[in-house]
Chain A
Amino acid sequence: MDIFLQLTVSGLSTGMIYALAAAGFVVIYKASDVINFAQGDLLLLGTYLVFFAVAQTGLPWSLGVLVTVLLAVAVALAIERLVLRPLIGEPIISMIMVTIGLSSILRAAVNAIWGPAPRSFESFLPAGDVALGPVVLSSGRLLSIPIALVVLAALWLFFRHTRDGIAMRAIADDQQAALSMGISIPRVFGIAWGLAAASAAIGGIMLAGIVGVSPNVTSIGLRVFPVVILGGLDSIRGAVIGGAIIGLLEVYTGGYVGHGLSLVVPYVVLVLVLMVRPYGLFGKEIIERV
C-alpha cells in the first residue's frame, strides 16, 4: 500500500508536468494546426531560464519565476513571428519539419550557453519529505500537483471566458468566418505561442525543482504525443487527464513490472488509441480519416 501511494504521487506529479507540456501543444494545435515538435525544448528552455534567473542572477524566487515566464514568452513570440508566420497554410510535413528544426536550434542554443553537464541549485519546492501516516512522500512532488492544476485551470478558464480565448476557439472552428468577424489571426497565433511557452516554462520550472537542470529534459517532449492523442488533440481537459493517465501508467509499470517496460508503454497506448478511438477521450470527432 505504501508503495502504491508513493507510486501514485510520483506518477501524478510526472503526469502533471506532461500535462503542462501537452496543454501548450494543444493550444498551438488548436489555434494554428501546427504540430509542435519543439514542445520538449520549450520545457528545457524553462528549466535553464529559471536556473539563470535564480541561481546565476540571484533573483528571489517569485521574481525569478516571473522573469523566466516572460523570457520564454518572448522567445516563443519571436519564433512565431520569424518562422511560423511565413509558413501559414503550408502542408503538414513542412510544419512538422519546421518545428523539428526549431527544436534542434533551441537545444543547440541551450547547450552552447549553459553547457551539457547537469546543473543543480536549491529548489523553491521544499526539499524534505512529508509523512502521511506510514507513507513518506517527497513534498516537492506532492506540491507540484496543485501548482500544475492551478495553471491548467487558468488556461481552461482563459479559453472559456476571455475575449482572446474565445477568438482562439473561433479560429480553430472556422478560420474564414473568424477573419470576417474581425479577429486578427496573427494576434491569436502569437497569443497561442505565448501561452504554450508560458505553460511549458512553468512545467520546466517544476522539473528544475524535482529532477534538476539537465539537457535530458527534452526527452519529455516526445511523451507529449501519447498524452495528447489519448486526451484528444484539441482538448485542455484531455491534456490534464491524458497526462495523469500516462504518468500513472508509466510509474505503475515501472514499479510493478519492470523499469524497461515503462519506457515503451505510453507508445503502445498511443498505437491502441489511434486504432480504436483516434480522436482521443475528449477530442472533437472530426479527424482525418481515409
Chain B
Amino acid sequence: MSLECGVFHTRYESDMGLRPRPVQRIRLAFFATFVLLFPFVAGPYWLDLANQIAIATVGAIGLNILVGYTGQISLGQGAFMAIGAYTAGLLTLNAGLPWGVSIALACVVTSLAGTFFGLPSLRLKGLYLAIATLAAQEIVEWGMTHWTAVTGGTEAIVLPAPSLFGVRLNSSFAFYWFGVLMAAGTALFAANLFRTRMGRAFVAVRDQDIAASVIGVNIFRTKLLAFATSSFFVGLAGAMIAYYRTIITWERFTLETSIVYLAMIIVGGLGSIRGSFFGAVLITLLPALITNAGRALQDTAPVVANLLPYAQQAVFGIVIILFLVFEPKGLSKLWGNVKDYFHVWPFAYRRG
C-alpha cells in the first residue's frame, strides 16, 4: 500500500481499484491469457497438477485468512478439509442432493464447524491455541477412521461423477475451468475482504488485540468470524477434492495435510493473497519436479531413484527452513522486490 510515484488518480473509483496502475492491469491480462490458454496446450499430467494447484490455492487462501491475517495458528486444516469433503460426499450419497448444492452446503457446514473449533481461541492464544487445534485434528481424524457407520471408516467413499450440462466435470480439462473459477473467486473475495471493516478488524486483532478492542473491535466476534470465513474456503477446498477425485479417503486429510498447507502460506507469505497462490504452486510442484528429476536419473543412477521419496520429504523440510531463515515474508516479498526493481527501471534510486 505504498504511494506510487508518478501515478495520479483523478477519480475515486480509479484510486480504489484493486489494480490501479496500467502496468498491473497489463500483468493481470498476461496472467489471465496464460490461464485461459494453458489447458489447450498442456497435457493431462500438467492439467492435473494445475487442478491440484487451484484446489490448494483455495485452501491456502482460506488458511491464510485465519493464520496470516488474523494471527490464529491452526493445525486443523486437514480436519476442516475432511469435514468439507465428507459433508459434500455424504449429502450427495445419502440425501441425493446434486453436487453443486452439496458443495455449497459443505462450505456452510465447515464454516459452522470452524466456528465451533474456534471457540477455544476466545480463551487461548498462540501456542496453546495451536496445540488445541492439533487435538481437534487428531480427534476428527480418529472420527473419520472409527465412526464407520457414517464415514465408512478406513474404506474409501466413492461418489458419482459430477456433471454440468451433460459434461463430466471430473475430467482434468473440465475441472480446470471449475477450479480456476473457484480459485479466482476466492482470491477476489479475500482481496476485497481486507478492504472492508471486517477484514481490517481481523488484521487489527492479529497486530494488537488489546488496542483493537480499545478502538471498538469486538475481539470474540472477530475471531469467530475469522474462523468461520477461513473454514468456509477450507471446506470448499475439501469438497473440491472430493468431487475432483470422486473418491474420499481419510489419508488425504491427516495432520500431514495441515502441515503442507501451513508450509504453503509460510513459503508464499503470511498475510498475502498472491503469496497463498505462489505457495500453493511451489509446494504442489516441488514433489512433482523431484519425481521427474528422479525418473530422468533412473537409468544413469538407480540409487538416486530409490531415495526419491526421502528426497521429497527432505526438500520439503529444507524449503520451509530456508524460507524461514532467509525470507520470512516468503515468495510474495521476493515477487514484490522484483516488481519494485522494475518499477523504476532503469533509473534505480539505489541498487539493492
Contact = CB atoms under 8 A, between A and B. Distances in A.
B124 A97 contact: no
Interface centre among B127, B130, B136 (most CB of A within 10 A): B127
Nearest to A93: B73
A102 B125 contact: no
Interface residues of B, number: 45
Interface stretch (A103-111, A145-153, A193-201): A103-111
Interface stretch (B52-60, B244-252, B316-324, B344-352): B316-324
Interface in A88-116: 90, 92-94, 96-98, 100-105, 107-109, 111-112
Interface in A260-281: 260, 263-264, 267-268, 270-271, 274-275, 278
B179 to A, nearest CB: 27
A200 to B, nearest CB: 18
Interface stretch (B42-50, B104-112, B235-243, B307-315): B307-315
Contact of B67 (A93, A225, A274): A93
A229 B129 CA distance: 12
Contact of A97 (B136, B314, B324): B324
Contacts of A270: 131-132, 135
Nearest to A113: B310
B134 interface: yes
Contacts of B219: 290
B222 to A, nearest CB: 11
Given A260-B146, A264-B142, A94 B125 contact: no
A103 B332 CA distance: 25
A100 B320 contact: yes
11 contacts: A83-B321, A101-B320, A103-B317, A104-B314, A105-B318, A108-B311, A109-B314, A264-B138, A274-B135, A275-B120, A290-B123
B128 A274 contact: yes
B324 A96 contact: no
Interface of A: 35, 83, 86-87, 90, 92-94, 96-98, 100-105, 107-109, 111-112, 222, 225-226, 229, 260, 263-264, 267-268, 270-271, 274-275, 278, 287-290
Among A94, A108, A225, max chain B CB count under 10 A is at: A108
B149 to A, nearest CB: 13
B128 to A, nearest CB: 6
B100 to A, nearest CB: 34
B263 interface: yes
B88 interface: no
Residue of A92, A101, A263 most packed against chain B (CB within 10 A): A101
B121 to A, nearest CB: 8
B259 interface: yes
Contacts of A287: 128
Nearest to A271: B135
